A and B are shown apart, each in its own frame.
Chain A
Amino acid sequence: MIYRPLKILIMAGAMTLCLALQTVHGAGVWRAEFDETCAKTDDAMTLAIEELTSLIENCTRLEKAVSSEEETVRKVYLRRLQMCKNLYIFVRESKQLEVQPK
């Protein structure tokens, strides 16, 4: 009888730990992916259309991951992702125009 609340306490503690770890671990994961995805903006013009499409998809996925972060991180990284993604879209469009007969 006495152990019941203790069990609940332990479970709650374990759950929060899991959650905390997840966010921390999660932050690490998306940050690394962000670095990788947006590293190619400077030579976006040399990439193929398919690669650009996959990078754009990465950006969209990262946006979702970032939206669950706290306010400041959201403010900064959503903006950076937007710039990164918009550039890739821009470059892809210009490449598509080149490929298409005018």
Chain B
Amino acid sequence: MRTILFSVLVLIVGTSISWGVGGMKKRKLPPYEYGSVVISNFSQPAGIPPVVFDHWVHRQYYTCRVCHVDVGFGMTANSTKIRSTDNMKGFFCGTCHNGRSEYNKKRIFASCAKEYSREEYKRCVKCHVLERSVAREEEFFRFADRLPRETLGNGINWEKAEADGLIRLTDYIEGTSVKKAKMKIQRDFALKAKTEGMPDIIFSHNKHTVWSGCELCHPDIFVGVKKGATKYSMVELFDGKYCGVCHDKVAFPQTNCQRCHSKPPQG
């Protein structure tokens, strides 16, 4: 009896030690996989693979605001709880993926199907993918190669791409978006870095509001009303909070330090 008890104890202690986390490099996401979101609220019980949503495909056409504010998608995977019925009614994915809307004279395929037939299934697997396809990777490279480069993330400098006119982003969808007045240009400001010698962060309010609008960040992500009210550090950011809500998995990654810590040091 004692030997069993002892071995069980060793087992428990042993596994808890061995399953400790840290010290290894995480799997590096290839540029075409960065920004990929797996949506799996209801797909498994429905017997279909989960949806793999690629941000890079949509970022070239629409601003963040259009989907995350106007259409109503959440900022974390599985938070929106989209059902196929919602899509078929013309909400969420169905806002554009309805088989009727066009972009650049190309018809956008409809999302979800009423019946489960072999014909319809071919359309289902456009989003409900099982594995990465080489064709998709090549499509990404064909797209990315003509855009300004950046290290890490998608390898694309999206801001510069828009500034150079290589991509044109739509900010309004008829029937869903609300017609808004032009925004007053927001001021950029500097945030002091905690580590001495680390250049200050230049936060561009302007760049963020042009793509995201105000309600995307305030107050859900940045709660503090007064500037400097919320104290946070890189540790929280790497954990996916504050700036990390976007700059951990979709926007240019936080591991690219100098992208934000760009204020030239004084003296």
Contact = CB atoms under 8 A, between A and B. Distances in A.
Task: Check A-B contact in the complex, CB < 8 A.
Answer: yes
A49 B71 CA distance: 28
A80 B69 contact: yes
Interface in A28-51: 34-35, 38-46
Interface stretch (A8-16, A18-26, A60-68, A71-79): A71-79
A84 interface: yes
A38 B176 CA distance: 12
Contact of A43 (B86, B179, B183, B219): B183
B58 interface: no
Given A42-B214, A76-B91, A86 B219 contact: yes
Interface centre among B74, B213, B225 (most CB of A within 10 A): B225
B178 A34 contact: yes
B81 A75 contact: yes
Contact of B180 (A39, A46, A79, A97): A39
Interface in B72-94: 72, 74, 81, 83, 85-86, 89, 91-92
Contact of A90 (B72, B74, B89, B218): B218
B181 A94 contact: no
Given A76-B91, A93-B225, A38 B184 contact: no
* Chain B interface size range: 20 to 34
Contact of A39 (B69, B179, B225): B179
Contacts of A35: 178-179
Contacts of A41: 180, 213-215
Given A42-B182, A46-B184, A97-B225, A87 B72 contact: no
B182 A79 contact: no
Contacts of B179: 35, 39
A38 B215 CA distance: 10
A84 to B, nearest CB: 6
A40 to B, nearest CB: 7
Contacts of A43: 181-184
A90 to B, nearest CB: 4
Contact of A40 (B74, B83, B181, B226): B181
Contacts of A76: 71-72, 86, 91-92
Given A34-B178, A35-B179, A42-B213, 11 more contacts: A39-B178, A41-B215, A46-B184, A75-B72, A76-B86, A76-B91, A79-B72, A83-B216, A87-B214, A89-B219, A94-B226
Contact of B219 (A45, A77, A87): A87
Contacts of B85: 72
Contacts of B220: 83, 86
